């Protein structure tokens, strides 16, 4: 335990150092563009005009964000917003739903709340843009980019320098496998079989992205979804062995994703792929980082885990790990983003972190 605390204190010092370095740098971004595929952890407004419960375009979402409520599922910035800042972008990457004209030159955020690797995941919440549809939207972006840059070759040369961040899978568990009243997957597959089915499909989707010009791809694993307040109180009704069951079911997904990263790096050797260790990064003692509340979200939550509209959230948002019953606060996102960009522990990223992926 004493050792753990020492490591965390060291991390804090390093964090401070990195943030000071970042503040000095205001040059051009380190990559020309940043493309984001994902779910509610990265959504920045793509669901606002969809018929779904999975949207965050109401108060108190965005209470600490410069532009207020935008559709982000947190109080402030998401992990990808902060990674974008660390990359040196002086604007947020625009959501596909509203990106127009030259906006797309810095990249596009396709992420959609409730979306999954499987098309049906999240269906019970309403419309969402599954990873397959996000890839189709990317094809639209590519033809717009080709028009802006003049030729296919110019577009390809531009795209292969960009960072791609693909973060899905949570809803294939929370809003699919662990919702047996709505989905049959848990009756068809054991957790290990399901992880294989998901990773086989994910592999094809990631290879398609490669064929569309991506060469630097970051793939975050799943965090310990069983431990979020929604899983504990709603899915598991405070039953701890149920929480452990959920977290254990995610292990084969993460293991297979690491193997996929190895395989893709071998097979597609003009591209680079990294795994970001979300579970590893959430495994320290959060109180050392200043967090005091880890078991409930900051805003009063609905039964589906999102904030109740116009409810009054907690005052001290930096002391809470969770903003609603599902999504982390900006305070936790800061740590996740900085460690994804610049690993603090060797286990944070594999085989390397984002700063090395793009260099």
Ligand X SMILES: *[C@@H]1O[C@H](CO)[C@@H](O)[C@H](O)[C@H]1NC(C)=O
Which residues are marked as active site? 40, 324, 327
Instruction: Check residue 241 for interaction with ligand X (CB under 6 A).
Output: yes
> How many angstroms separate the Cα of 87 from the Cα of each of 54, 90, 106, 253, 324?
29, 9, 11, 28, 28
Instruction: Check residue 316 for interaction with ligand X (CB under 6 A).
Output: yes
- Taking the CA atoms of 276, 191, 321 and 290 in sequence, report the sign of the dihedral they define: negative
Minimum separation from the CB atom of position 242 to ligand X (A): 4
Strand, helix or coil for residue 165: strand
Instruction: Check residue 242 for interaction with ligand X (CB under 6 A).
Output: yes
Considering only residues 46, 176, 277, 306, which one is a binding residue for ligand X as defined by CB under 6 A? 277
Minimum separation from the CB atom of position 314 to ligand X (A): 7
Number of residues that bind ligand X (CB under 6 A): 14
If the CB atoms of residues 114 and 217 are measured against ligand X, the closer one turns out to be 217
Nearest CA to 173 among 232, 249, 242?
249
Considering only residues 223, 280, 297, 313, which one is a binding residue for ligand X as defined by CB under 6 A? 280
- DSSP bridge partners of 276: 220, 349
> Residue 107 and residue 162: Cα distance in Å, rounded?
8
- Number of separate helices (H) and strands (E) present in the chain: 12, 5
If the CB atoms of residues 160 and 262 are measured against ligand X, the closer one turns out to be 262
Instruction: Check residue 203 for interaction with ligand X (CB under 6 A).
Output: no
Where would I find the beta strands (DSSP E) of the chain?
34-38, 163-167, 216-220, 272-276, 349-350
Determine how β-strand 349-350 pairs with β-strand 163-167.
Answer: unpaired
If the CB atoms of residues 45 and 313 are measured against ligand X, the closer one turns out to be 313
Q: Could you write out the DSSP letters of every residue in 247-312?
A: HHHHHHHHHHHHHHHHHHHHH-TTSEEEEE-HHHHT-S-GGGGT--B-SS-SS-B-TTSSBPTT--
Minimum separation from the CB atom of position 326 to ligand X (A): 20
x/- track of binding to ligand X for residues 317-356 (CB under 6 A): ------------------------------x--x------
DSSP H stretches of helix in 73-184: 79-86, 131-149, 152-159, 170-172
> Residue 211 and residue 142: Cα distance in Å, rounded?
12
> Do 107 and 92 contact (CB within 8 A), yes or no?
no
Instruction: Check residue 212 for interaction with ligand X (CB under 6 A).
Output: no
Residue span binding ligand X (CB under 6 A) among the ranges 20-28, 40-48, 178-186, 239-247:
239-247
Residue span binding ligand X (CB under 6 A) among the ranges 17-25, 119-127, 235-243, 294-302:
235-243
Instruction: Check residue 239 for interaction with ligand X (CB under 6 A).
Output: yes
Instruction: Check residue 245 for interaction with ligand X (CB under 6 A).
Output: yes
Considering only residues 203, 283, 311, 355, which one is a binding residue for ligand X as defined by CB under 6 A? 283
Minimum separation from the CB atom of position 112 to ligand X (A): 27
Strand, helix or coil for residue 6: helix
If the CB atoms of residues 50 and 258 are measured against ligand X, the closer one turns out to be 258
Residue numbers at the binding site for ligand X (CB under 6 A): 239, 241-242, 245, 258, 275, 277, 279-280, 283, 315-316, 347, 350
């Amino acid at each position: 335990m004493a050792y753990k605390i020492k490591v965390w204190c060291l991390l804090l010092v390093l964090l401070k150092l990195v943030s000071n370095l970042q503040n000095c740098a205001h040059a051009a971004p380190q990559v020309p563009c940043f493309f984001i595929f994902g779910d509610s952890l990265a959504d920045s407004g793509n669901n606002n005009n969809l018929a779904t419960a999975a949207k965050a375009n109401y108060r108190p979402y965005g209470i600490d964000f410069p532009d207020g409520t935008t559709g982000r599922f947190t109080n402030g910035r998401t992990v990808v917003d902060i990674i974008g800042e660390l990359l040196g972008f002086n604007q947020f990457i625009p959501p596909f739903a509203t990106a127009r004209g030259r906006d797309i030159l810095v990249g596009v955020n396709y992420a959609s709340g409730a979306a999954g690797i499987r098309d049906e995941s999240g269906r019970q919440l309403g419309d969402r843009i599954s990873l397959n549809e996000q890839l189709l939207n990317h094809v639209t972006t590519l033809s717009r980019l080709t028009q802006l840059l003049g030729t296919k070759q110019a577009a390809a040369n531009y795209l292969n320098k960009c960072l791609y961040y693909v973060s899905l899978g949570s809803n294939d568990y929370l809003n699919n496998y662990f919702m047996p009243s709505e989905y049959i997957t848990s009756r068809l597959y054991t957790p290990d079989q399901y992880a294989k089915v998901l990773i086989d499909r994910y592999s094809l989707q990631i290879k398609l992205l490669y064929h569309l010009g991506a060469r630097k791809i970051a793939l975050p694993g799943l965090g310990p979804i069983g431990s979020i307040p929604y899983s504990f109180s709603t899915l598991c009704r405070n039953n701890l062995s149920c929480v452990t069951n959920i977290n254990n079911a995610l292990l084969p997904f993460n293991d297979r994703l690491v193997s996929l990263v190895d395989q893709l790096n071998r097979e597609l050797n003009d591209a680079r792929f990294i795994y970001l260790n979300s579970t590893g990064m959430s495994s320290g003692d959060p109180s050392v980082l200043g967090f005091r509340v880890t078991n409930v979200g900051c805003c009063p939550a609905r039964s589906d885990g999102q904030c109740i509209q116009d409810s009054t959230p907690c005052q001290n948002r930096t002391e809470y790990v969770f903003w609603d019953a599902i999504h982390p606060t900006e305070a936790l996102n800061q740590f996740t983003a900085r460690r994804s960009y610049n690993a603090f522990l060797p286990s944070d990223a594999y085989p390397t972190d984002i700063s090395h992926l793009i260099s």
